[in-house]
Amino acid sequence: MNPLLAQFIPEARDLLEQAGNGMLALERDAGSQSVINDVFRAVHTLKGSSGLFDVGPLTRLVHAAEDLLGEVRTGEIPLNSDIVDRLLDSLDLVGRWIDALETREALPSDAEATMTERVKVLRSWLAEPSTAGLDRATAPMTSVVTEVPDWLDRFPEADRMTAFKALSRPRLLAWSFEPDEDCFFRGDDPVAMLRHAPGILTLRAGPRAPFPTFDSMDPLSCLLRFEVLSDTTRAELDEHMRYVIERVDIREIASADLASPVGKAAGGPVFGDFGRLARQHLAGGDRTALERAVSTLLTMIAPASFQASALRWVQAHLSCHGLDRRGDLERLIAAVETGVLPPRSEHPAATSSAAEPAPSPTEGEAALHDTARTIAAEQIKVLKTPADPALAQGRLEAVATVLKNLADALGDSHMAAELPNAVTAFRQTGDLGPLQALVETLGEQRPEIPPPDRIAPSAAEPIPASSKPGAAVDEHGDVKALPRVLRVDQSKIDSIMNLVAELIVAKNGLSYLATRAEQVHGSRVVAREIKDQFAVIDRITQGLQVGVMAVRMMPVSQVFQRFPRLVRDISRKLGKKIELVIEGEDTEADKNVLESLADPLIHMVRNSLDHGIETPDERKAAGKPEQGVLKIVARQENDFVVIEVSDDGKGIDPLRVKAKALKLGLISPERAEQMNDGEAINLVFDAGLSTKEEVSDLSGRGVGMDVVRSAVIKAGGEVSLRSTLGAGTLVTVRLPLTMAVTRIVTIECRGRIFGIPMDHVVETVRVKREHIHRIKAMETFVLRDTIIPIARLARALRLPEVASDAQRDEEAVMVVKVGRERVGMVVDGFRERLEVIVKPLEGVLEGLPGFSGTALLGDGQVLLVLDLQEML
Amino acid sequence: MPHVLIIDDSSTTRLYYREILEEAGFVVDEAINGIEGLEKAMNRSFDIFLVDLNMPKMDGYTFLGQIRRTVELEAVPAIMISTQAREADQVKAYAAGANLYMIKPVHAADLTTRSRLITGQGASPRMAS
Amino acid sequence: MPIRTEDSLIALDGHCTIEEAEALFEILRGIEEPVFDLAATNTLHTAIVQLIMASSGVVRNIPDDPVLAACFHNRRAA
């Protein structure tokens, strides 16, 4: 037995016993947190180590048990004896599977089916089965030790060969997908999901088990299984299949694994002769002679034989890789010679290295450089992750070690030499810039740098007397003034910013003081003087604020610069022709705002590339130029930076989006009736709709628009979408130039004061009671020919009803904009408008639903700011 | 030869890493949880730590936090390897002091290449031959 | 109407959604050797694809789509 499996079996038994004993103890004392933690950890560890073997059903069953225990551990699900029974049952079953592994080194043949049924039971306790798919942590652990799935050879040779030739990298994913029987009821459409799966090379489809007789079929029950080869990364595939990840089994295999000859082996001395000849040509690097030997032999033997198949693979290899990847080539030649393909030992723990194909030096080196650069980029990510100050210093030292070692590994002496300075710069000023710039050069080929005396003015040339720091000498010896730049640590700017913010709040205090002077002390003169002073201070603070903001401004080109590469890579991969037009890259915005914009922007660009712009053929058929245009435009509008991403692709069909939303129950039929096209296409921002894979093909906009929206809203901005079917789509994002100061309106409700961000407020009106009508369960009123639904703030906040409510003959209604909808919010009264610094909820308030933050008022009161999006 | 300390509560996983890394020219030592890991780390010098997340007695985050607070150990690179694959888990690992985050089960080739690069070595001896 | 039938010929037009699955099932139960024509098909829901696969029929004018090609590879009409 493989030593790793020999190690696993006793460990698994031990863990099962720990878990089992723990479960029994729990039944006696369900509240014991330490016991439940132990059980959870035992099951978790078992899941982790089982992932090293080809025991998918076992891993998935243990995984389901782990998820259930996780919920029990956090108290989401109370433990009852029913759950204990089922968990114990499942652990017992795992125990029997371990026995089978010990005797036969394989799970029983019915394991898959038994697992499916047990998992279903265990998952039935979990509140939302779909959340399992959302959480990447629950991705099923697929085998990596025995990587190549047994169904790979069932792909016809021609299909495997086409895939082999189309591959852009040395590895690919072989994965199977068995949608669950009830998936149609959840709105899943596996065929559509596959159609959009990344990098599909070829696939097979069929029933999992033979179909039942046609008449006894359930047309709404999914019985299919798909086997797919994809040229993509594990991460991308995981992302695409994330909602059904537990139904997917993904293996990463080498392209050489595709080259598996099939057929019946023929016999004869001719094959031995070929082997000797082929190895000679190989040793002599004579590709042409080898190709000739292969085609000669091919004409002599039966095309259906194993050897003919192997020869065709040699041809394919030669045409793709020439004489590179020699190990793979030798293996195929051996297959021709012996009639058997030698094992391609890529067992991770395997000790024999003889059969290991040695990558050609250049290929291995390129991959090594890539990995090194990835690790280096992660180090920057590490440093960007906030850490406890007590360990931040140590972490920086570790990062420095890693970067130094990477430089050594690649022999990059430039980086090794520059590293200490860049690290010191970061340590002293917190400026990551130099380090980041340096890391990006890792392993780059540098031209020989001429010795300094050849570029500096030679000593013989006169240096003008006026030359001084801050001036440069051009080639004619003229002195030009350079802008003098001061490098300042960002944290210093931030602390000035905070002081300005406090000053703004303190300034607001003056207007309270003026009111008090007038009302309490009856002195209108003093009040007037305070107000005059207030105006002066107001002007100065505003100037100060603008000044500090300007320091933090960065051009959007910082974010845009990655797009040319992104667009080029993706459009090549998709086989589309796309021209990228970028405008307004000098537009500036606050550093934090730009950072928050980066990810949504990538989503939007990817959507245009993936779903918006059609393939050249489709475009030609639609009478458009073959090349699509993707345009990214930035500009400043008052206090906002506006970014538009537009394409001239196929656009979004409002009717289909509407129909889909209706079908999914996201909108009512009445609502659908009222909706115009513009409102309908904006439904793609709805989480329920935009996460459904199927929609991406209907709408031209798919997964992730809800993510875009929530990121933009979090940054205080808004996003909207316009689309003309067949002509293209335009997504507009508006973000505040800065994030620091928020203008709010305060309102009163049940004697308490709350703040609402001004950006949400449309207008305030008073509405007579008789003008409020009920439509079904909803109160509404009409504002200039538009029906506006009403929400009562007191009710939304669960504040007590009071008797006077019923007697009021008119209501104070604040019309607010939530997303693209307008809602009338009934409050007790309107108060003043203020500029405040909204701070996130902290301490006891953290996580309080319905509020986005707090603000300190001039009189020292703490104001709660409402989160309308969440509340209404 | 570079020294690696594997900290994982699963004996199977430790064996798996051990075989891979010894093959790639590392000297391997093991610990079954964070506490034992700290003890070993104090008593001899290592070039890299491979740390599991969930372990009894002391988990991976705590272990990392401890070494990054200890002057003699702070500069030793560490890879955290866990079954948890959420972005948030990686962020937490980086906040705790990890230099890299890998998701179980890891590929032998990935682990070898990364461990070698992080300890300043080029391609593995096998690849270079 | 996405499903048109003429004797044993069944033409599926435009977008065939899950809603059509039961109707198609009923139609197929009454036909011995159906011939599916996908010339005017835009998209087929998996449930429809599965019914065609489970039936004893052949398919002609299969759209140029790798997934459908894989599903109907042994059903291609001569």
- The DSSP result for A186-243, as a single string, is GT--HHHHHHTSTTEEEEEEEESSPPPPGGG--TTS--EEEEEEE-S-HHHHHHHTGG
Candidates A33, A63, A385: best to mutate against B (most CBs of B within 10 A) is A385
CB C55 within 8 A of CB A214: yes
Q: What is the pLDDT of residue A456?
A: 36
**Strand A778-783, strand A578-583: pairing:** unpaired
d(CA B32, CA B36): 6
Name every chain C residue with its beta carbon within 8 A of the beta carbon of A200. Answer: 66-67
pLDDT digit string (tens) for A394-434? Answer: 899 999 999 999 988 888 888 888 888 888 888 887 788 88
User: A241: which residues sit within 8 A by CB, 6+ positions away?
Assistant: A177, A193, A197, A248
Q: How far is CA A556 from CA A493, A592, A637, B17, in A?
A: 20, 12, 14, 45
Q: Cβ–Cβ of B12/A405 closer than 8 Å?
A: no
Candidates C32, C41, C44, C50: best to mutate against A (most CBs of A within 10 A) is C50
Number of A:B CB contacts under 8 A?
174
B3 touches chain A (CB under 8 A): no
Query: In b/e form, how buried is each residue of A301-335, taking b as 16+ CB within 10 angstroms?
Result: beeebbbbbbbbbbbbbbeebebebeebbbbbbbb
Q: What is the pLDDT of residue A145?
A: 37
Name every chain A residue with its beta carbon within 8 A of the beta carbon of B106. Answer: 144
Give the residues across from B6 on adjacent strands: B30, B50
- Under the banding of pLDDT at 50, 70 and 90, the label for residue A353 is very low
pLDDT at B7 over 60: yes
CB B86 within 8 A of CB A136: yes
Query: Which of A5-9, A453-457, B35-39 comes out lowest in average pLDDT?
Result: A453-457
Distance from CA of C65 to the nearest CA of A (A): 8
pLDDT at A10 over 80: yes
CB B119 within 8 A of CB B107: no
Q: If contacts are CB pairs under 8 Å, which of residues 104-123 in chain B contact chain A? A: 104-109, 113-114, 116-123
d(CA A836, CA A826): 23
A664 touches chain C (CB under 8 A): no
A368 touches chain B (CB under 8 A): yes
| Mean pLDDT confidence for A370-377 | 87
CB A640 within 8 A of CB A664: no
Q: What is the pLDDT of residue A20?
A: 86
pLDDT digit string (tens) for A137-163? Answer: 333 333 333 468 888 988 989 999 999
Q: Cβ–Cβ of A394/B94 closer than 8 Å?
A: no
pLDDT at A31 over 80: no
Q: What is the pLDDT of residue A314?
A: 93
pLDDT at A832 over 50: yes
pLDDT at A119 over 80: yes
Q: What is the pLDDT of residue A688?
A: 63
Q: Which CATH number does the domain housing residue C38 bear?
A: 3.30.750.24
d(CA A317, CA A102): 40
| Partner-chain residue, chosen from A194, A219, A220, that has the shortest CB–CB distance to C67 | A194
Tokens of A559: 């974010």
Number of A:C CB contacts under 8 A?
73
More confident residue, B110 or C10: C10
CB A655 within 8 A of CB A649: no
Residue C56 lies in a domain: yes
User: A863: which residues sit within 8 A by CB, 6+ positions away?
Assistant: A744, A746, A753, A754, A755, A836, A854, A855, A856, A857
The whole domain housing C25 covers 3-71
Q: What is the pLDDT of residue B123?
A: 58
Q: What is the pLDDT of residue A486?
A: 66
Which chain B residue has its CA at the smallest distance from A405's CA? B120
pLDDT at A491 over 70: yes
**Strand B3-7, strand B27-31: pairing:** parallel
Which chain A residue has its CA at the smallest distance from B23's CA? A351
Give the residues across from A793 on adjacent strands: none
Q: Cβ–Cβ of A191/C49 closer than 8 Å?
A: yes
| Mean pLDDT confidence for A548-557 | 81
CB A293 within 8 A of CB A241: no
* Most confident region among A22-31, A78-87, C24-33 by mean pLDDT: C24-33
Q: Cβ–Cβ of A356/B105 closer than 8 Å?
A: no
pLDDT digit string (tens) for B54-81? Answer: 888 888 999 999 899 887 788 999 999 9
Distance from CA of A448 to the nearest CA of C (A): 51
On the 0-12 / 13-18 / 19+ scale of CB atoms within 10 A, A37 is middle
Tokens of A735: 């973000």
Tokens of A809: 């003959």
Q: How far is CA A319 from CA A330, A504, B10, in A?
A: 15, 71, 46
Q: Alpha carbon A211 to chain centroid distance? A: 38
| Mean pLDDT confidence for C25-30 | 90
- Under the banding of pLDDT at 50, 70 and 90, the label for residue A86 is confident
Tokens of C16: 């065939």
d(CA A80, CA B66): 39
CB A226 within 8 A of CB A177: yes
User: The tokens 């998209």 sit on which residue?
Assistant: C43
d(CA B48, CA B114): 11
Name every chain A residue with its beta carbon within 8 A of the beta carbon of B75. Answer: 394, 397-398, 400-401
- Under the banding of pLDDT at 50, 70 and 90, the label for residue A483 is very low
A51 touches chain B (CB under 8 A): yes
pLDDT at C17 over 90: no
| Partner-chain residue, chosen from B23, B107, B120, that has the shortest CB–CB distance to A144 | B107
Which of A152, A164, A147 minimizes the C-alpha distance to A228?
A: A152
Residue C77 lies in a domain: no
pLDDT at A745 over 60: yes
Q: What is the pLDDT of residue A370?
A: 80
- Under the banding of pLDDT at 50, 70 and 90, the label for residue A662 is confident
Residue A541 sits at the vertex; the CA angle it makes with A535 and A543, to the nearest 5 degrees, is: 105
Which chain B residue has its CA at the smallest distance from A141's CA? B105
Per residue, the 3-state secondary structure of A292-333, as one string, reads HHHHHHHHHCCCCEHHHHHHHHHHHHHHHHCCCCHHHHHHHH
Q: If contacts are CB pairs under 8 Å, which of residues 117-146 in chain A contact chain B? A: 135-137, 139, 141, 143-145
pLDDT digit string (tens) for A568-600? Answer: 777 877 888 899 999 998 888 887 778 777 778
d(CA A400, CA A413): 15
pLDDT at A469 over 70: no
First to last CA, chain A: 62
Candidates A191, A195, A697: best to mutate against C (most CBs of C within 10 A) is A191
pLDDT > 90: percent of chain B? 43
d(CA A833, CA A263): 82
Name every chain C residue with its beta carbon within 8 A of the beta carbon of A219. Answer: 21-22, 24-25, 47, 50-51
Q: Alpha carbon A625 to chain centroid distance? A: 32
pLDDT at A840 over 80: no
Mean pLDDT of chain A: 79
User: A431: which residues sit within 8 A by CB, 6+ positions away?
Assistant: A425, A487, A489, A490
Q: What is the pLDDT of residue A695?
A: 39
| Partner-chain residue, chosen from C22, C29, C67, that has the shortest CB–CB distance to A191 | C67
Q: Alpha carbon B102 to chain centroid distance? A: 10
Which of A458, A487, A490 minimizes the C-alpha distance to A473?
A: A458
pLDDT at B8 over 90: yes
* Most confident region among A437-441, A490-494, A800-804 by mean pLDDT: A437-441
Residue C35 lies in a domain: yes
Name every chain B residue with its beta carbon within 8 A of the beta carbon of A353. Answer: 23, 126
Query: Which of A51-65, A399-413, A456-470 comes out lowest in average pLDDT?
Result: A456-470
d(CA B113, CA B100): 13
What are the two backbone dihedrals, phi and then psi, of residue A491, each rounded to the nearest 5 degrees?
A: -65, -30
In the Cβ-directed half-sphere of B103, how many Cα atoms lie within 13 Å? 18
Residue C67 lies in a domain: yes
CB A184 within 8 A of CB A220: yes
DSSP secondary structure of A392-417: HHHHHHHHHHHHHHHHHHHT-HHHHH
Name every chain A residue with its beta carbon within 8 A of the beta carbon of B123. Answer: 364-365, 368
- Under the banding of pLDDT at 50, 70 and 90, the label for residue A355 is very low
Mean pLDDT of chain C: 88
The count of structural domains within chain C is 1
Q: What is the pLDDT of residue C16?
A: 87
B62 touches chain A (CB under 8 A): no
| Partner-chain residue, chosen from A190, A203, A217, that has the shortest CB–CB distance to C54 | A217
Residue C78 lies in a domain: no
Name every chain A residue with its beta carbon within 8 A of the beta carbon of C68. Answer: 191
B13 touches chain A (CB under 8 A): yes
pTM of this prediction exceeds 0.90: no
| Mean pLDDT confidence for A320-331 | 85
Query: Please, what are the domains in chain B?
Result: 3-124 (3.40.50.2300)
* Most confident region among A231-235, A258-262, A352-356, A449-453 by mean pLDDT: A258-262
d(CA A48, CA A500): 52
Query: Which of A719-728, A847-856, B39-48 comes out lowest in average pLDDT?
Result: A847-856
Which chain C residue has its CA at the smallest distance from A213's CA? C54
More confident residue, A92 or A507: A92
Residue C63 lies in a domain: yes
pLDDT at A674 over 80: yes
More confident residue, A234 or B15: B15
pLDDT at A481 over 50: no
| Mean pLDDT confidence for B4-30 | 91
Q: What is the pLDDT of residue B56?
A: 85
- Under the banding of pLDDT at 50, 70 and 90, the label for residue A824 is very high
Residue C57 lies in a domain: yes
Q: What is the pLDDT of residue C58?
A: 92
| Mean pLDDT confidence for A56-72 | 88
More confident residue, A3 or A631: A631
More confident residue, A535 or A856: A535
